[in-house]
């Protein structure tokens, strides 16, 4: 066998080995990982569209903790459900001290305008006092009662009116006008 033929054979074998290697290797950068965990139908599946909510963000507060507290008619007393939500709010606020919080109280239309405005302020104050009792600095919060203004629903059924008897916690990065 001539030197040229042996050289050509080695070159051909090398080319085939390179071709086979190219077929069996994978470019790591081109492999895509699934963006989200697969939906399994379980309660703890991530909500579609909210998988990438940043911890400590306003969206995290709203989705993970909740920002509404509801009251019974003509009352500013916190029930156990409200206290559970407020416990979660307090823990979140204590972990995220850069946020300020505006507590907006509301009432339904079950009394005079002045009575409902006073009641809505009492509700906002009750929420603020509870959060302070759980370690949230009072200087980070302020409370404002709006009475029956800004109804969620204008309705006559008692079951519907509960949506209007609430305190909404709104996060702020700086104190705005009350």
DSSP, res 63:
I
Contact 69, 86 (CB under 8 A): yes
Q: Give CA–CA dist 46/33, Å, rounded.
A: 17
Give, in degrees to the nearest 5, the angle at Cα 50 between 171 and 106: 35
Tell which CATH classification among 1.10.3720.10, 3.30.70.260, 3.40.109.10, 3.30.1330.60 matches the domain 58-172.
3.30.1330.60
State the Cα torsion 149-155-156-161 to the nearest 10°: -60
Neighbours of 175 (CB within 10 A): 12
Per-residue pLDDT tens digits of the chain, which is 178 residues long:
555 565 556 666 666 655 555 554 444 444 454 455 566 767 766 666 666 789 999 999 999 999 999 999 899 999 999 999 999 999 999 999 999 999 999 988 888 899 999 999 999 999 999 999 999 999 999 999 998 776 665 556 565 556 788 999 999 987 665 4
pTM for the predicted model, two decimal places? 0.69
């Amino acid at each position: 066998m001539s030197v040229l033929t042996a050289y050509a054979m080695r070159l051909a074998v090398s080319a085939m080995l390179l071709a086979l290697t190219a077929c069996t290797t994978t470019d790591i950068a081109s492999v895509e990982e699934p963006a989200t965990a697969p939906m399994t139908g379980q309660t703890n599946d991530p909500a579609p569209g909210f998988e990438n909510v940043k911890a400590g963000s306003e969206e995290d507060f709203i989705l993970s903790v909740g920002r509404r507290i509801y009251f019974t008619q003509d009352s500013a007393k916190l029930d156990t459900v409200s206290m559970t939500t407020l416990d979660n709010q307090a823990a979140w606020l204590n972990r995220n001290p850069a946020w300020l919080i505006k507590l907006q109280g509301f009432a339904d239309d079950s009394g005079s305008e002045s009575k409902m405005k006073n009641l809505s302020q009492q509700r906002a104050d009750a929420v603020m006092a509870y959060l302070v009792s759980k370690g949230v600095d009072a200087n980070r919060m302020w409370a404002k009662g709006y009475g029956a203004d800004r109804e969620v629903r204008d309705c006559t059924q008692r079951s519907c009116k509960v949506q209007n008897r609430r305190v909404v916690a709104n996060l702020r990065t700086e104190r705005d006008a009350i």
